[in-house]
Amino acid sequence: MAEQIERIKCLIIGSGPAGYTAAIYAARADMNPVMYTGMEPGGQLTTTTEVDNFPGYPDGIDGPAMMVDLQKQAERFGTQVRFGMVTEVNLATEKGGIHKVVVDGKIHLEANTVIISTGASAKYLNIPSEQKLRGGGVSACAVCDGFFYKNQEVAIVGAGDTAAEEASYLANICKKVTMLIRKDHMRASKAMQHRVNRLENIEVLYNCEVDEVLGEQVVEGLRIVNNQTNEKHEIEITGLFIAIGHKPNTDIFKGQLDMGSDGYLVTTPGTTKTNLPGVFASGDVQDKVYRQAVTAAGTGCMAALDAERYLADIGVVDEVKAGDYSV
């Protein structure tokens, strides 16, 4: 007997703010969306202790609770949220074509539209003390979490434009910012270097790396090592920000979807359309500039609307419901 393959009208890959917002809009448009969460349901926000800048939460909310709220809202309108990792894709190149997807190496699906919301993963130093205190004072987003360290002393690791920009941002909030650069120079543009150097409460330490993040439950300090002299010393801080870049979760789409040299998916300006018909990208997987929950949610909305219009254009309106099968 031939294998039965589930046919889905709208498949959403990824479960952060972009994915869940896409699911809410798609479900309300009777697109019967099915979401596969990936190995980290909720995405990067599940590692954020407090979210204070997302509209609608006047008292703030912790990241995991916010993602539970978004999931409940998506499910209320009929989204099927499934735990699983998309491991293989064969995306159609013709308009109206069927996209073929494999989940966990064994579940085969076919989809009329695919919304990619797989996000990007922040790069960390990957030392045990740093990983232990993620969410306890170690953060990869100064714009997200800097407010919680107002008038306190913090440190930031990184040497590029993002690190310089985040150091400048933190300097406007925090008492002192120590910037750690492992080489003898900053990679940031001259303009960003000038901005950092003009701020009196930023101290830049060259040829320095993190030896250990100090603290049991929260960050209490930092042990720094000079990689030229091997000399170590400690500083007292309450927050450590890692600004050494992000890696978009796009490896599975290489060779099929257009992406930049940095791996971010390329979309048609003003839309979420990729180079393949019926495939849309939202959230951090295509945004290397803003990387905020609210901007991700906005592009999730756009992706669902783009997908809805595409389905109407190819004449797929009510024919396909999740759970239908092809042979």
Residues catalogued as catalytic:
141, 144-145
Among the listed residues 89, 119, 26, the one whose alpha carbon sits nearest the alpha carbon of residue 306: 26
Instruction: Give the residue ranges of DSSP H helices in the chain.
Output: 17-28, 63-76, 128-132, 142-145, 161-171, 190-198, 293-314
In angstroms, the CA 302 to CA 281 distance is 9
Among 23, 18, 86, 93, smallest CA distance to 322 is for: 23
DSSP one-letter code for 44: G
Identity at 309, one-letter amino acid code: R
Residue 172 and residue 176: Cα distance in Å, rounded? 9
Q: Alpha carbon of 158 to those of 39, 102, 204, 228, 290: distances in Å?
A: 28, 38, 10, 18, 18
The residue type at 127: I
Residues 261-296 as b/e (b if ≥16 CB within 10 A, e otherwise) read eebbbebeeeebbbebbbbbbbbbbbbbeebbbebb
CA distance 21 to 274: 19
Strand partners, 246: 122
Quote the crossing angle between the two packed helices 161-171 and 190-198, to the nearest 10°.
20
